[in-house]
Amino acid sequence: MTPHYLEDFAVGQTFGSGRLRVEPGQIARFAADFDPQPFHLDDAAARGTIFQGLAASGWHTAALTMRLLVEGGLKPAGGIVGAGGELNWPRPVRPGDELHLESEVLEVRPSKSRPEQGMIKVRTTTLNQADEPVQVLVANLVVLRRAAAATAEKESGR
Contact status: 70 vs its own copies (CB under 8 A): yes
Residue 123 CA neighbour count, 13 Å, CB half: 11
Residue type, 44: A
CB-nearer residue toward its own copies: 66 or 106: 66
Contact status: 43 vs its own copies (CB under 8 A): no
User: Using the rule CB under 8 A, which residue among 3, 13, 80, 94 binds its own copies?
Assistant: 80
Contact status: 3 vs its own copies (CB under 8 A): no
CB-nearer residue toward its own copies: 12 or 137: 137
User: Using the rule CB under 8 A, which residue among 7, 13, 59, 94 binds its own copies?
Assistant: 59
Contact status: 57 vs its own copies (CB under 8 A): yes
Contact status: 147 vs its own copies (CB under 8 A): no
Strands 133-144 and 81-88: antiparallel
User: Using the rule CB under 8 A, which residue among 34, 42, 47, 107 binds its own copies?
Assistant: 34
Which region, judged by CB under 8 A, interacts with its own copies, from 10-18, 29-37, 101-109, 125-133? 29-37
> Do residues 66 and 80 lie in contact, with contact meaning Cβ atoms separated by under 8 Å?
yes
Q: Which of residues 85-144 bind its own copies (CB under 8 A)?
A: 85-89, 142
Binding site for its own copies (CB under 8 A): 30, 33-39, 49-51, 57-60, 62-64, 66-67, 70, 78-89, 142
